Amino acid sequence: MTRAWSPVETIRRKRDGLALTTEEIENIVRGYVDGRIPDYQMSALLMAIFFRGLDEREMTDLTMAMARSGDMLDFVDDARVVDKHSTGGVGDKTSLVVVPLVAAAGAVVAKMSGRGLGHSGGTIDKLESIPGFRASLGPEEFRRQVAEVGAVIAGQSGNLVPADKLIYALRDVTATVDSVGLIASSVMSKKIAGGARRLVLDVKAGRGAFMTDREAAVELARAMVAIGRKAGLGVVAVVTAMDQPLGRAVGNALEVAEAVRCLRGEGPEDLEELCLVLGSHMLTLAGLAPTPGEARERLSSVLRGGQALERFRRMVSAQGGDGRVADRPEEVLAAAPVRAEVRAERPGWVRSVDALAVGRLAMALGGGRHRKEDEVDLSVGVVLGAKVGERVAPGEVLATVHARTADQAQEAAAELAAAFDISGEPVAPPALVLETVS
């Protein structure tokens, strides 16, 4: 007599520290999506996974079972197609720069992005601050732009990874979000179902990141690289600092303007550096450069030569956006009516700028969402006048708040001042890339 498969037995096995079989994992994911496995068994299993973890084979099985729970997109079988994903940070407008940058160097990027939630922004919100820009593309339109422009950033379409949506919603209300195996499987299932075959991961670590702890971020990076490798992807993960915001602008339209400056080769330094690092891995994975070092030189010259900015303009125009944003962002993008400045009270060096505090402030100003259904004001935000390691004189502008009302601006400015820590001693500029996992 063969015994019927029992979810309780699977929960017990994981609870007792055993590895689940491929079949068990497939049964769990399929059964949960079908509604045959109730929430209460899934949440008990998730908590057991929180405590016992998942090994690389289990994570890969979970990733693939979730990826296969809905549509599996498949792009042209082109070795130049490469994707990029960030775990989310404050002021992270990297995609806006790196996608046209690597496309201008010969790679093809068909990127699906999300909207912001909580203190970290979303690429789609940022792009939508460009008048006319459409993030929602039909499959044919999407394909055509990939072929013609080699660069597209669109919202997620189709029924991608319903298992992840269901499981994530359950994790959120059962305190089982913070599990490396579950996070890694969730991210990778979405990338794999979205058709990614070559992928560069930007895993943020620090105050403004999902993983505040560097070791945890490295563990997550290793887990995702292991899953990618086992699933047959080309994959590199870069663990990068997210203690202070990336670049100087935080807020949707403000970040687009900064991305345009960066595409013109005008920095800010950390943003450009990160785009070159991530882009060089992307170019190498796409087979367009023999090493990241050579890829970087090529990207650097593409950036200085204006081809990256040009590709950005073409991408934006192809999606209905006002291409003049590439020339005069300040004229094209909506500006907030009120500004307030935070100034240094005493001389010194910036020791830290709390990315989480800045991200929360930008959200509180109306630039982000507490809940999925919230409306976003694309014009508001914060622009930093000083970053970690920079010297400031008394009265110098530390940051500027862009707000809807004077009251909001004043209140935000007062809170923003507390996000800065000024030292009497010189402070070394912090490292941006903490670790590379491949």
How far is it, in rounded angstroms, from Cα 92 to Cα 295? Answer: 22
Which of residues 28, 48, 200, 239 is near its own copies by CB under 8 A?
48
Residue type, 256: V
Instruction: Tell me how far apart the alpha carbons of residues 159 and 7 are, in angstroms, rounded to a whole number.
Output: 26
Catalytic residue among 190, 197, 248, 313: 190
Could you confirm whether 186 is annotated as catalytic? yes
Residue closer to its own copies (CB basis): 14 or 198:
14
Rule CB under 8 A: say whether 358 interacts with its own copies: no
Applying CB under 8 A, among 36, 51, 269, 297 the residue interacting with its own copies is: 51
Minimum distance from CB of 405 to its own copies (Å)? Answer: 22
DSSP H or E run through 149: helix 139-149
Residue 37 neighbours by CB under 8 Å, 6+ apart: 7, 28, 31
Q: Count the Cβ atoms, other than its own, within 10 Å of residue 348.
A: 19
Q: Is 136 a catalytic residue?
A: no
Radius of gyration of the chain (CA): 22
- Residue 33 as a binder of its own copies (CB under 8 A): the answer is no
Q: Residue 155's beta-bridge partner residues?
A: 113
Among 27, 28, 29, 41, binds its own copies (CB under 8 A): 41
> Does 50 sit near its own copies (CB under 8 A)?
yes
For the CB of residue 4, give the shortest distance to its own copies in the complex, in Å.
Answer: 15
5 touches its own copies by CB under 8 A: no
Binding to its own copies (CB under 8 A): which residues in 110-149? none
- Coil/strand/helix, residue 243: coil
CA dist., res. 80 & res. 283, Å (int): 8
Please report whether residue 46 would count as binding its own copies according to CB under 8 A.
yes
Q: Which of 23, 40, 139, 269 binds its own copies (CB under 8 A)?
A: 40
Question: 204 - beta bridge partners?
Answer: 240
**Catalytic residue at 171?**
yes
**Stretch near its own copies under the rule CB under 8 A, chosen from 39-47, 89-97, 296-304, 331-339:** 39-47
Backbone angles phi, psi at 147, to 5 degrees: -70, -40
Q: Where are the beta strands (DSSP E) in 36-126?
A: 83-86, 109-113
Our CB check for its own copies shows the closer of 51 and 330 to be 51
Single residue of 18, 76, 147, 175 touching its own copies by CB under 8 A? 175
CB-CB contact of 231 with 60 (8 Å): yes
With contacts defined by CB under 8 A, name the span among 40-48, 197-205, 311-319, 419-427 that binds its own copies: 40-48
Q: Which residue has the tokens 């732009």?
A: 145
Which of 334, 411, 343 is CA-nearest to residue 126?
A: 334
Strand 397-403 with 381-384, pairing: antiparallel
Rounded least distance, CB 38 to its own copies, Å:
7
Q: Which two tokens stand for residue 264?
A: 């013109």
| Annotated active-site residue in 14, 80, 85, 296 | 85
Q: How far is the CB of 176 from its own copies (least distance, A)?
A: 6
Stretch that binds its own copies, among 4-12, 18-26, 130-138, 381-389 (CB under 8 A): 4-12
47 touches its own copies (CB under 8 A): yes
Q: Smallest distance from the beta carbon of 413 to its own copies, in angstroms?
A: 23
The answer to whether residue 38 forms part of the interface with its own copies (CB under 8 A) is yes
Which residue in this structure is represented by tokens 């590379």? 436
Q: Which of 86, 186, 280, 352 is catalytic?
A: 186
Give the footprint of its own copies on residues 364-393 (CB under 8 A). none
The CA distances from residue 117 to 112, 114, 125, 249, 369, in Å, are 16, 9, 10, 18, 5
Stretch that binds its own copies, among 43-51, 191-199, 223-231, 395-403 (CB under 8 A): 43-51
Q: Match 């507490």 to its residue by tokens.
A: 370
CB 383 within 8 A of CB 250: yes
The catalytically annotated residue of 171, 222, 281, 402 is: 171
Nearest residue (CB) to its own copies, 175 versus 414: 175
Q: Indicate which residues carry an active-site annotation.
A: 85, 164, 171, 186, 190
Kindly list the residues in this chain that would bind its own copies in the complex (CB under 8 A).
8-9, 11-12, 15, 38-44, 46-48, 50-51, 170, 172-176
